[in-house]
Chains A and B, each alone.
Chain A
Amino acid sequence: GAGVSQSPSNKVTEKGKDVELRCDPISGHTALYWYRQSLGQGLEFLIYFQGNSAPDKSGLPSDRFSAERTGGSVSTLTIQRTQQEDSAVYLCASRGTGNEQFFGPGTRLTVL
């Protein structure tokens, strides 16, 4: 596709369960970013990947959060033992050689 895609678009889970969120960046984009947006808040940086370099994980809020990027393309954000405060919209973005980050539609996560 032409843009960044994310799946699922909505995810409802029970507290304590693990969830996986997927991001397909724009083809050829070497940089991939994950952000979290809680209700009424700005975007909060979580992690980013750039080519084959080690990812910058400095924004991950706890060790329950992890992410990987396979083959320099698709990325998965995993949240283990979900808590209610993890409820948010999780946004993925990718960037090519320019400055602009292109955002996906997000995954709305609700932890009951």
Chain B
Amino acid sequence: GQNIDQPTEMTATEGAIVQINCTYQTSGFNGLFWYQQHAGEAPTFLSYNVLDGLEEKGRFSSFLSRSKGYSYLLLKELQMKDSASYLCALRTDSWGKLQFGAGTQVVVTP
């Protein structure tokens, strides 16, 4: 299986930076996704890493190290609207089947 671990909750102030870690144990996977989910809403796509390294997209960046079994999502210049749950997910086959972590609730305070 692929145990996927994320912190349950993180709190940060508006304008700050927060790094959400995701660790996993697996024998193989196709890629790693990050999704954002606001309370009561559907998850929305943030990033997809296949190769090791950093992918940057505006205020959000995602990093993957396959050898270390580790990824992180970096949120810069935090805004109140960034308060949400952030889900790490492994793509486990070529058809796109995803296995999700439990999610990290980020609370942004003024």
Contact = CB atoms under 8 A, between A and B. Distances in A.
A110 interface: no
B102 A42 contact: yes
Contact of B87 (A42, A45, A95, A102): A42
Given A99-B91, A103-B43, A33 B98 contact: yes
Main secondary structure of the interface of A (DSSP, over half): strand
A106 interface: yes
A42 B103 contact: yes
Nearest to A99: B48
Interface residues of B, number: 21
Given A31-B96, A45-B100, A105-B42, 15 more contacts: A33-B96, A35-B98, A35-B100, A40-B102, A43-B43, A43-B100, A44-B100, A45-B99, A48-B96, A91-B43, A99-B31, A99-B48, A99-B96, A101-B96, A104-B42
A41 interface: yes
B29 interface: no
Contacts of A50: 95
Contact of B97 (A45, A102, A104, A105): A45
Nearest to A59: B97
Closest 10 CB pairs of A and B: A103-B42, A42-B102, A42-B100, A43-B100, A100-B45, A50-B95, A103-B43, A99-B48, A105-B42, A42-B103
Contacts of A56: 95, 97
A43 B43 CA distance: 10
A77 B5 CA distance: 29
Contacts of A33: 96-98
A20 B47 CA distance: 32
Nearest to A105: B42
Interface in B17-57: 31, 33, 41-45, 48
